[in-house]
Chains A and B, each alone.
Chain A
Amino acid sequence: MKVLNEPSARLQSPGPLQRFSQSWKSAALTLAIGLVLLFCLPRVLDDFTLVQATIYVVMSILAVSLGFIWGYGGILCFGQSAFFGLGAYTYAIAVTNLGDSTVPFVLAIVVPAVFAAALGYIIFYGRLSDVYMGVITLTVTLILFNLINSTAGPEWKIGVAPLGGFNGIPNIAPLNMPGNVDDVIGPRGLFELSLGMLLLVYLLLRALLAVKLGRVIVASKENEQRVLLLGYDARAYKLFTFVLGAAIAGLAGCLYANWGAFTSPTIFGLAQSAQIIIWVIVGGLGTLVGPIVGCVAIQWLTSQIGTQQVINSNLVLGAILVIFVLLVPKGIVPGCGSVGAAMAARMRRRPVVADQHKLHKPSDEIEANTLAIDSHRETSQ
């Protein structure tokens, strides 16, 4: 049951940093930065750079979806790219059939969510542990990859949309204003829509985490047994978290299909799944901004590696993943945050560490009890 982000740290000491990251101030700060970017970037950047920036934003939405279900729901999903790919394919197929993009946009969110509900039912109501969860989600992604990959012939089509197999689906129609097929979104519009969606998703998740529903979700991650004893059906809450994450990933997939007007089975591939995990680990588990930072940093790094021939990108990504798991398990954002907090504390010349130990003695005991229950449960299994 040990997850990278030690829950005990948060239980024991809601220090100034923790309080800041959970308060409305940090949400407002992030929102302000986002709005500034939303209004300034399209005015500053040329079209080409803006299109490049759009893919960072789209992938950030995907990163946030995993950051939410893993960091807050404790659900280690190795196949978040399955929902991403489903969103992209659903949009592509539906928009080719329907013409108008309003319904396809909604479908690209609903279909992955329904799929996640069915898969999540098997996983959570079967009470499979995190490790099996990881393996099953990985397997499902590979099933989808194999399935879509083998649909190259002209006989494979849904409605009038050929699936294209390993060739993918080219020339996907862009989003249009609801009801007006000719008024399509341009590169600038897509950037604004993507960044707007990212901010919306971020705010929605922050709001969710602030209300009771979100608290039960986090509690189910920290100690599922205690949540059950308090009368909440942890399985249902986990299922909800999983479905919400899939819906967000589907939204990202829809925007991705718009961005390149193309989708292919590689978005279901192992490499894509691994990347999402790396973004979240590097950025920091248990935050919503962390996955965005990690996503942008790693995406930038991969594109830099792509410009030269000496080092292979798999090699670098693999090394980063190993190093972060072994040496920086908290990730960049919480890591920087605690360094910042320590420096601030030193400037105020207050022995923070000793203080916290004195103040939070009772919660240490609670933590010890929790561990005792956990270990009891593990041995009894």
Chain B
Amino acid sequence: MDLAAVILIQVLYAIASLVVISSGLAVIFGMMKVINLAHGEFMMLGAYATIEAIRVGINLWIAIFVVAPLAVGVIGIVLERIFIRHLYGRMVDTMLATWGLSLLLIGVVTSIAGNTTAGVSAPLGNFTIGAYSVSAYTLVIIAVGVVLALALRWVLLHTSLGLIARGTTQNPKMADALGINPGVVYSVTFAVGAALSGLAGGLLAPLTGVVPTMGGAFIAKAFITVIAGGPAILVGLISASALFGTINQIATFVTTPVLGEVALLVAAIIMLRLLPQGITGRFFKRSL
């Protein structure tokens, strides 16, 4: 019974962490059809922002939930204005340019911070379920995953910002004719996506070693989740995260963590053969 509870928590944690690391990418890809290969590096910047903020004496939670998203959001706006906006509608070029950006950001951070691992210890300590000890921070990630999904839904459905963003992505010319500047909308959307990536990086900073190349560890998982999710941003993100998180955690439990990741990625490739349009290309078609 205790074991079942622990496994349940771990599965929920795997699902929530997929939601957390993929949401920034899902917003940028889903709304703007830009595949941001620098996503992992945005997370890395968020993690560094968190660590630097803690170093100057800012509270850990403020560093994670305020400093990291703000810092990366601002960097996102700058990069969008300089590079990305020239490439809208050219998906392949955008992929290549953002890959260049990713290398560039790794290079810049390596030059500044050095190629060493920094880190903070996970807060809140552990609690026990029967004979098992679980990190309390796991519950924080699960909570953030849930809040993030609800917040995305609320912003997209119930605020004028969400309405404008959805309208602009569906028909930029019409939005333009109605007095909305699509360029500004794209900039804001990109910044929101970047901020979400920064938040994810900040959240993961206590769990992983923070190095300039840490982005590579998340990028494949995040991409595969977003692409397997399909056209509906939110439902796709959640359903794909649920599917892959469960597969990942069960395979990890049965074998090793590395084989768990491999199982996730292999499952994703097989699934794309069966459902090339992603999960929401076949099911929940009319959802958000």
Contact = CB atoms under 8 A, between A and B. Distances in A.
Interface stretch (A195-203, A207-215, A315-323, A346-354): A315-323
Contacts of B35: 131, 134-135
Which secondary structure characterizes the binding site on chain B? Answer: helix
A140 interface: yes
B97 interface: yes
Contacts of B92: 2-4, 76, 130-131, 134
Interface string A116-153: 00000010011110111011101110110011011000
Interface stretch (B185-193, B234-242, B263-271): B263-271
Nearest to A150: B258
A143 B273 CA distance: 17
Contacts of B256: 150
Interface string A302-327: 00000000011111111111110110
Interface string B20-41: 0000000000000001000000
Given A134-B95, A136-B272, A322-B100, A315 B220 contact: no
Contacts of B268: 139
Contacts of B272: 122, 126, 128, 132, 136
A2 B224 CA distance: 23
Contacts, number: 132
B102 A318 contact: yes
Interface residues on A, range: 35 or more
Interface residues on B, range: 35 or more
B110 interface: yes
Given A136-B269, A146-B262, A150-B256, A319 B104 contact: yes
B117 to A, nearest CB: 16
A126 to B, nearest CB: 5
A147 to B, nearest CB: 6
B160 interface: no
Contact of B265 (A130, A143, A315, A326): A143
Interface in B80-106: 83, 86-87, 89-93, 95-97, 99-106
A193 B108 CA distance: 40
A326 B97 contact: yes
Of A269, A281, A326, the most chain B CB neighbours within 10 A belong to: A326
19 contacts: A2-B91, A122-B270, A126-B273, A128-B272, A131-B92, A131-B95, A132-B227, A138-B219, A138-B223, A139-B265, A142-B216, A274-B99, A312-B107, A314-B104, A314-B106, A314-B110, A318-B101, A322-B104, A326-B97
